[in-house]
């Protein structure tokens, strides 16, 4: 795969993935590398440009992350963002200090004035809002650098040595709050680095197919298909590459949404692959009988899934490669973070370790989620699969509070379908990042016709979020909620009350369990 590469050198900033996504959105391939990466490795990537990210440190402290000065002698353009900007200033002889004056510390939206003769700001308005988040201040800029933007509080918001192609901005161009931020990144790529824009999905698809064929040869590949976006796109990509050498095992644990199993099967009908659908509803429900503790449910489903998958893979016969749906954020994040475990988030599809394979194949390893979706479209997968919301591996089991039974699962499936159907009819589904129904363990008294009912209370949950780490409850119009509630009560026997969850995350989580 030959395309131009930009390196995003990671100094620990919170928006680093966003920087990389922006670069790729601009049609340029990039990879995030930790700042500790050996220079030789970075050089071997033959980058056309390097971006130093933000980070939580102060450059003037002894232990601050640094980069070898040699990088400045390569003749490759560098853009420093926030900490990255201060690092350039510090490394090339400028002076960075802690802002003494409150007003020089800038956080949040800041009115900024740009010198539009600078390549970074070419063709953009001379004034706009930028998103700042820095407590340090460039007191002196290095020799050869000119000031290219200022704010009311700070004279040096952006610096540049255009002769050498070095640029630094104190603000975060990658976040949406910065007006024209992406256009500035684009300018860096195209005006400064000489990017040609050779990163697009059609091209990636072609080269990924060739790479898979080369790696697999005449070997056989096994894939656990869950029906989620990643495994579906991976299945389509492998199907397109090696056709009949691929076996997809789709374990239907009986806790899918309405019609989901059939939809997945249908989506793969056009390809000539070995598609194994295992209807294991009874098996999973038996294991879950009497269990109401959420983490226990997750564990049971995760383990049972592996067991079923192992059994099926033995039936397949010889298997050389196991396909895994690792995507780029997993690659970046693996090993990082020691946050408290709130939920175990078992991903159904965990690897069995008792099956023998020659190797793993991870065809989505370099892609961000939106790129995975794009690739899926490129491969001709139906939109409902490609733009699907995340659905937890344990499925409806963690949306049925308390014990899971077939009766409850059927009730929930139908109510959940009506909710999503009405959202789609109203065109609301596009702006929601996750929306689903939860069957509570509470029964309440109602009156229908002239009779008393004593049935389940259902909760509806819809959120907007950009990263699923935090989320806002969605403001759905009352009229629509009214329609949904009426339909559910009329069409789902066994539910006599509908509630709407108005809690954001935090303090709640998105799922109820």
Cβ closer to ligand XMP: 77 or 325?
325
Cβ closer to ligand XMP: 142 or 392?
392
Site string for ligand XMP, 383-402 (x = CB under 6 A): -------x-xxx--------
> Is 434 among the residues that bind ligand XMP (CB under 6 A)?
yes
Q: Assess contact for 197 and 27: CB atoms under 8 A.
A: yes
By CB under 6 A, name the one of 9, 59, 327, 510 that touches ligand XMP.
510
Four-residue CA torsion sign, 440, 441, 446, 451: positive
Strands 106-114 and 127-134, how do they pair?
A: antiparallel
Q: Assess contact for 323 and 363: CB atoms under 8 A.
A: yes
Write out the DSSP string of 312-377: HHHHH----EEE----HHHHHHTT------S---PPTTPPPSSS--SEEE-TTTT--HHHHHHHHH
Cβ closer to ligand XMP: 111 or 296?
296
- Which residue's entry shows tokens 């475990």? 341
CA distance from start to end of the chain:
43
Four-residue CA torsion sign, 217, 219, 224, 227: positive
Q: How far is the CB of 433 from ligand XMP (least distance, A)?
A: 8
Cβ closer to ligand XMP: 177 or 299?
299
Q: How far is the CB of 512 from ligand XMP (least distance, A)?
A: 8
By CB under 6 A, name the one of 66, 177, 377, 505 that touches ligand XMP.
505
Burial 176-199 (b: 16+ CB within 10 A, else e): eebbbbbbbbbbbbbbbbebeeeb
Q: How far is the CB of 228 from ligand XMP (least distance, A)?
A: 8
Q: How far is the CB of 347 from ligand XMP (least distance, A)?
A: 5
> Is 466 among the residues that bind ligand XMP (CB under 6 A)?
no
Cβ neighbours of 370 (radius 10 Å): 11
Q: Which residues pair with 317 in a beta bridge?
A: none
Site for ligand XMP in 328-347 (CB under 6 A): 343, 345-347
3-class DSSP assignment, residue 279? strand
By CB under 6 A, name the one of 60, 74, 384, 468 that touches ligand XMP.
468
By CB under 6 A, name the one of 139, 162, 320, 511 that touches ligand XMP.
511
Q: How far is the CB of 344 from ligand XMP (least distance, A)?
A: 6
Write out the DSSP string of 298-313: HHHHHHHHHHHHHHHH
Cβ closer to ligand XMP: 11 or 417?
417
| Among 129-137, 148-156, 419-427, 502-510, the segment contacting ligand XMP (CB under 6 A) | 502-510
Distance CA 421, CA 460 (A): 13
> Is 5 among the residues that bind ligand XMP (CB under 6 A)?
no
Residues in binding contact with ligand XMP, number by CB under 6 A: 15
Q: How far is the CB of 464 from ligand XMP (least distance, A)?
A: 12
> Which residues have a catalytic role annotated?
82, 172, 174
Cβ closer to ligand XMP: 4 or 434?
434
Q: How far is the CB of 291 from ligand XMP (least distance, A)?
A: 14
Q: Assess contact for 209 and 240: CB atoms under 8 A.
A: yes
Q: Assess contact for 469 and 432: CB atoms under 8 A.
A: no
Cβ closer to ligand XMP: 261 or 294?
294
Site string for ligand XMP, 186-215 (x = CB under 6 A): ------------------------------
Can you give the binding site for ligand XMP, defined by CB under 6 A? 298, 343, 345-347, 390, 392-394, 434, 468, 505, 509-511
């Amino acid at each position: 795969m030959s395309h131009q590469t930009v390196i995003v050198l990671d100094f620990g900033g919170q928006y680093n993935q966003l920087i990389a996504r922006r670069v790729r959105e601009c049609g340029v391939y990039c990879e995030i590398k930790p700042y500790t990466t050996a220079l030789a490795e970075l050089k071997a990537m033959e980058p056309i440009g390097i971006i130093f990210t933000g980070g939580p440190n102060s450059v003037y402290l002894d232990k601050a992350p640094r980069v070898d000065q040699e990088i400045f002698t390569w003749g490759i353009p560098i853009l420093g963002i926030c900490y990255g900007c201060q690092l350039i200033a510090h490394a090339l002889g400028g002076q960075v200090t802690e802002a003494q004056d409150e007003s020089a510390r800038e956080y949040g939206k800041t009115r900024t004035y740009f010198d539009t003769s600078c390549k970074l700001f070419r063709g953009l308005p001379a004034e706009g809002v930028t998103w700042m988040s820095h407590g340090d201040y460039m007191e002196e800029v290095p020799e050869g650098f000119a000031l290219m933007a200022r704010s009311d509080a700070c004279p040096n918001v952006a610096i540049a040595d255009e002769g050498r192609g070095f640029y630094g901005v104190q603000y975060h161009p990658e976040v949406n709050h910065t007006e024209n931020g992406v256009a500035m990144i684009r300018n860096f790529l195209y005006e400064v680095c000489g990017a040609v824009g050779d990163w697009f999905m059609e091209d990636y698809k072609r080269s990924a197919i060739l790479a898979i064929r080369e790696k697999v040869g005449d070997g056989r590949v096994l894939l656990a298909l869950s029906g989620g976006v990643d495994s579906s796109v991976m299945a389509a990509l492998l199907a397109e590459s090696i056709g009949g050498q691929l076996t997809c095992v789709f374990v239907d644990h009986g806790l899918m949404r309405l019609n989901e199993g059939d939809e997945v099967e249908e989506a793969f009908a056009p390809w000539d692959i070995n598609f194994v659908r295992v209807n294991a509803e009874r098996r999973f429900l038996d294991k879950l009988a009497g269990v109401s503790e959420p983490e226990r449910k997750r564990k049971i489903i995760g383990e049972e899934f592996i067991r079923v998958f192992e059994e099926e893979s033995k039936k397949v016969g010889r298997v050389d490669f196991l396909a895994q749906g690792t995507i780029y954020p997993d690659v970046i994040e693996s090993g990082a973070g020691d946050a408290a475990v709130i939920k175990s988030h078992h991903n159904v599809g965990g690897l069995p370790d008792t099956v023998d394979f020659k190797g793993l194949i991870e065809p989505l390893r370099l892609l961000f989620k939106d790129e995975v979706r794009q690739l899926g479209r490129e491969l001709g997968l139906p939109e409902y699969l490609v733009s699907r919301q995340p659905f937890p591996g344990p499925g409806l089991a963690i949306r049925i509070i308390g014990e899971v039974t077939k009766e409850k699962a059927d009730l929930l499936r139908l109510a959940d379908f009506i909710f999503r159907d009405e959202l789609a009819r109203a065109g609301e589904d596009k702006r929601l990042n996750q929306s689903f129904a939860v069957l509570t363990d509470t029964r309440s008294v109602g009156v229908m016709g002239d009779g008393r009912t004593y049935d389940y209370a259902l909760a509806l949950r819809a959120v907007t979020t950009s990263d699923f780490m935090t989320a806002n409850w969605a403001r759905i119009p009352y009229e629509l909620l009214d329609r949904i509630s009426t339909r559910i009560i009329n069409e789902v026997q066994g539910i006599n009350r509908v509630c709407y969850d108005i809690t954001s995350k935090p303090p709640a989580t998105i799922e109820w369990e």
